[in-house]
Amino acid sequence: MKAVKSQRPVNLDLRTIKLPVTAYTSILHRISGVVLFLGIVVLLSWLDKSLSSEEGFEQVKGYLASPLVKLVAWGLVSALLYHLVAGVRHLIMDMGIGETLEGGTKGSKIVIGVSVALILLSGVWIW
């Protein structure tokens, strides 16, 4: 048998591989979905505590004054906003708009731009 020359990449160091912007938006969309899934536990516990009694409501209100809790809330809102914007992009692509390589790249850049703007606005609203 002859040895076959493989054209496979030898270096699989993820820090040196350049991914397209569409890959980053896809990866971030998945990460934001996981963050939302896990964050629901935190949000539901806050909701349960606040609805249990007047004292519970005051405790949650006190929690939300903490900078660390505000940061967690901003992180969850950021994940929600990014996931929403990227999800709308997927719905638009399901209608056949932006399915080309150029359209996908433009759509990814729009998703990142709109998401950054909304995340910054939500940060101003939360803080």
* Number of C-beta neighbours around residue 112 at 10 A: 17
| Nearby residues of 26 by Cβ (< 8 Å), 6 or more positions away | none
Distance CA 39, CA 44 (A): 9
83 is in an annotated binding site: yes
Distance CA 88, CA 42 (A): 25
Binding-site entries for heme: 83
Numbered residues of the known binding site? 83
